Structure 1
């Protein structure tokens, strides 16, 4: 009789279900694992034998054949330890395990431990197998307890996992549908956020136009580019932007934790959206991610999903890297194609760029003289192509030492303004924020009156606006109207949006 239990293995950024099969054959005693198992699975033989001996199990004088099906799919991960050990330990007990999933790495004494491969695989199981029964290590309970659509049983050792399968009265742990964070409730969904501001906008002196642009960008996830002399506050604003972004739903946090696990970060639930700031010397593969036949590694673009991707000193990034941003900025998705694999990453991030006005940085300075020639400035500016700049929603030119004696908005106030605009978007039934709307959604949501439409036509002729630029102006106008608590887009909203447009 062949015993069976289910597990899963990585395939790109997702996973594939694997059926673990065990058979005991009358032959010379041996323990073999087949099914394209890599070294981490082959090494499990020693861990499994030690763990089973630790609980008093004696190996029969038979050949133990373990097969991981489908056999033509490469398998990896030490989480296969537990399902293999369970099949061997339940030999001759007649317990049906073919509807169960099991994940966990075994220590030599039989203790179960968590590893980062497990979490992304559980998301795939939750999508494909509603109410599947899953045995998981107790050490990962803090992460697993929020996963929906699964019946989860926790075990801290191989012995406890066996007791779960041997006891029909075992009950699954309760799924926690809420988190211990501040919450706003919109419709039928809870959205979570944090009130702490380790970096506060009150520390940015003056630069009210730049801060207003940051508020608009955060409210609708609009891409923004700051240009100004060194020290005028470009990076200060970009780093503070993270703390006023819209709140996150539980589903968004689950997706964020999945990406953390895939990138070997320590996974944790937090409503603080990701902030990625790669150096300009970063390689193309580190920005875009890599893919091989057996494994996919998300890059900075994928890890910034639902958060901020900040490129400081933007023109100093490689031309190839900058041009490769065009697809994810436009489609909110990045496809990495290789000979043996094709991986798709979601990339709905807020892009923030910062650059100097010229190579020496003093072109806009009222007190310092620019040392650059017109040719130097032209060469510097030409590093950013027109198609790339056309994907930027807001362009802000900052002045050096711009001070305002009036009290400035702090991050707490700006956060509440962002939340107000966010609520307006969700109450309209939008699944995406204004900056990420599709063309069809723009036509339905970002409607201009006749007077504003005439101004748009004049702007299109005067500034030679592309179709993409017009769509972005409409989306930006909708966000400004939301901040103004306006049901319809007014002429003033469109004119403010046009003032942020990059004109070559």
Structure 2
């Protein structure tokens, strides 16, 4: 029996998965067991096509692929590459120990990137489980930002097979890249920042008190509420707040990129803190997260280490405003469902804006 290491996502973190393969006598068949969802079951056809179009001989045996531990539900096309390698190398003597392998396999054998690969590798590296990883070249730009791991990249399934068959691993080695942004060092720790701003406070005319309050809020990560008539500059100041927030550490930049990937957004690794501004008609589930089968992130979790802006605060539902107490006080949020219970970090700067009370305006007139 041969095996390779892969992983699946549970909430925000990765769980290591052993991909095992056995080849026994019997009627030729190809089955995948271990609570594999449709996205993994479909990989059988992709792998067959990739092997046959690249002149591999599909073994005429009963092939069983097991994803262990079997009690955890697994999904994602990144399991294609480890499964294909175990089938292609079934009769080849080579060492597969110590490597995690990720990648989607195309019908022609070309390896592709997926949104989950960065999240999985970063989480495994943070847990200290992953030291060496084989990935598609399409994933290199993102994965090379993760420090303290050995990264090897190939472009096709044939190259991946040669990687293990022959002693040529150094040719596929990828050098970990550093951020090109400016940085400052405080207590021997680097913090990155950018001086290119989409919005600038110099565009705000007047409102000296509000700008001073915004500066204090950004420096000390204090929550702030702006009250004023429509058009006086509440939203204008708030949109510029993220550009005067403190510089970001490497861990914060990677965490931001991780949340982007989980939200199906291509991570940019830009050292500007995230800015989330949900509309007041947003549902409670979209703000705090939810889901029937598995809990999904909401705006509160996606704004971690950044800014969460509620414009027109009184128009948000009462249940939403009352539920904000836990993430603001504890900086953590528990989403509890029958099938999953997930903790989210919620260390964000909460900014609100509202118009003056009508009775105040009436008295003023």
Matches within 5 A, 1:354-373: 354-359=353-358, 362=361, 369=365
Rate the CA distance shift 1:81–1:151 in 2: closer, same or farther, 3 A: same
Richer in strand (by share)? 2
Partners of 2:139 and 2:362 in 1: CA distance = 54
Partners of 1:67 and 1:232 in 2: CA distance = 62
Partners of 2:175 and 2:359 in 1: CA distance = 60
Structure 2 unaligned residues grouped into runs of 5+: none
Partners of 2:146 and 2:291 in 1: CA distance = 27
Partners of 2:362 and 2:29 in 1: CA distance = 76
TM-superposed deviation, 1:363: 5.2
Give 2:176's aligned residue: 175
RMSD of Structure 2 on Structure 1 (CA): 1.6
TM-superposition CA deviations, 1:166-209 (whole Å, max 9, x none): 23341232212x30112122221221111122212122221111
TM-superposed deviation, 1:39: 0.2
Give 2:18's aligned residue: 19
Partners of 2:106 and 2:295 in 1: CA distance = 27
TM-superposed deviation, 1:152: 1.0
Partners of 1:238 and 1:319 in 2: CA distance = 23
Partners of 2:237 and 2:360 in 1: CA distance = 18
Partners of 2:339 and 2:261 in 1: CA distance = 23
Partners of 2:130 and 2:340 in 1: CA distance = 30
Structure 1 unaligned residues grouped into runs of 5+: 370-504
Give 2:194's aligned residue: 194
For residue 216 of structure 2, give the secondary structure of its aligned residue in structure 1: helix
Contact 1:262–1:297 (8 Å) recurs in 2: no
Partners of 1:169 and 1:140 in 2: CA distance = 20
Give 2:311's aligned residue: 312
TM-superposed deviation, 1:13: 1.3
Deviates more, 1:332-341 or 1:62-71: 332-341
Partners of 1:82 and 1:57 in 2: CA distance = 15
TM-score by length of 1: 0.70
Give 1:81's aligned residue: 80
Structure 1 position 40 matched with structure 2 position 39:
yes
TM-superposed deviation, 1:297: 2.0
Matches within 5 A, 1:88-99: 88-99=87-98
For residue 59 of structure 1, give the secondary structure of its aligned residue in structure 2: coil
Pick 1 or 2: higher relative contact order, CA cutoff 8 A, min separation 6. Answer: 1
TM-score by length of 2: 0.96
TM-superposed deviation, 1:95: 1.4
Structure 1 position 244 matched with structure 2 position 244:
yes
Contact 2:295–2:341 (8 Å) recurs in 1: no
TM-superposed deviation, 1:130: 5.2
For residue 125 of structure 2, give the secondary structure of its aligned residue in structure 1: helix
Q: Which runs of 4+ in 1 moved over 6 A?
A: none
Matches within 5 A, 1:84-483: 84-129=83-128, 132-171=131-170, 172-176=173-177, 178-293=178-293, 295-359=294-358, 362=361, 369=365
For residue 339 of structure 1, give the secondary structure of its aligned residue in structure 2: coil
TM-superposition CA deviations, 1:397-443 (whole Å, max 9, x none): xxxxxxxxxxxxxxxxxxxxxxxxxxxxxxxxxxxxxxxxxxxxxxx
Partners of 1:119 and 1:297 in 2: CA distance = 18
Contact 1:13–1:296 (8 Å) recurs in 2: no
Rate the CA distance shift 1:310–1:26 in 2: closer, same or farther, 3 A: same
For residue 160 of structure 1, give the secondary structure of its aligned residue in structure 2: helix
- Choose 1 or 2 for highest CA Rg: 1
Partners of 2:43 and 2:360 in 1: CA distance = 58
For residue 31 of structure 1, give the secondary structure of its aligned residue in structure 2: strand
